[in-house]
Amino acid sequence: MSSIADKRVLTEEIAHLEAQLTAARARLNHSPTPSASNSNPALPPNGLPSHPLLLLSDSALPLGSFAFSSGLESYLAHNPYPKTASEAFPHFLTLALTTLATTTLPYLLAAHRSPEQLQELDATLDACTLCPVARRASVAQGKALLTLWERALRTGAGESPAALALGEFSVVLKSIPLHRDDGCEVSGHFAPIWAAVTRAMGITLRESAYTFLFNHAKAVVSAAVRASVMGPYAAQGMLAGTWLRGEIEDVMARNWGMDVEDAAQGVPMCDLWVGRHELLYSRIFNS
């Protein structure tokens, strides 16, 4: 195998095996003593859902995502389409997922594959994020996830390369000044930190990317409910339907092979909506 695609497949396979090994070591170090009360042959360990994945997909995860609408509030205020809010929302959600996939997904993929490059990827993403409002939202959630990692999720993760990279990143982020001697500056963007955390917790690359996009969709749908775009049952129906799953899988497939150097804003209007959010006369979200 000599092509770039084949090398990438092998890299992902190695990363997947390393993640499985890290998760197995964590279970070995923290597994309870087998007893008649907790043994159940009908539920083999390998047949259970991924416990870390369930944790990170929880809407109650304290990341502050509920405070952001990802431009939805500004989009509705500017109302670029002659439709009702509920009719226009699926179109906006598609644009929001496309924006996330073209601007930040490549950084997530790169950080998961090579967590030792976490600081460099964070600095590059910060330099390439032109919208200051979007930058603040990404950094706020990234720092919240890093704090959550250190205070709650770090236990049992072992000393994997991703865990070590997160530890080094945290030290640099907390240092004063933030500038290192080599000129690299870290900010704490959400996507690279998410990738390193999921890698350290034994979550595969595809699971990490899909959950990241799905969590973003959940946050936007939640914002739509609070903005009275739709009711809670309609929102759950959208999350549970095949349409959203197809949208996420589609943007993943279209941007899976994109390198960091090729990442760019795929929907320029999203930056305008997010950037003009602070100019609204009244607003209920931070962005």
* Pair 169, 193: CB distance under 8 Å: yes
Q: Tell me the residue range of the domain where 105 lies.
A: 4-28+87-274
Under the banding of pLDDT at 50, 70 and 90, the label for residue 97 is very high
What is the rounded distance in angstroms from the CA atom of residue 103 to the CA atom of residue 87?
26
Number of domains in the chain: 1
Q: pLDDT tens-digit profile of 189-202?
A: 999 999 999 999 99
What is the rounded distance in angstroms from the CA atom of residue 225 to the CA atom of residue 234?
9
153, part of any domain: yes
158: Cβ contacts below 8 Å, ≥ 6 apart: 22, 25, 26, 29, 200
R_g of the chain computed on alpha carbons: 20
Q: pLDDT tens-digit profile of 120-160?
A: 999 999 999 988 888 888 999 999 999 999 999 988 777 88
71, part of any domain: no
* Pair 247, 93: CB distance under 8 Å: yes
80, part of any domain: no
69, part of any domain: no
Tell me the pTM. Answer: 0.78
Would you give the end-to-end CA distance of the chain in angstroms?
46
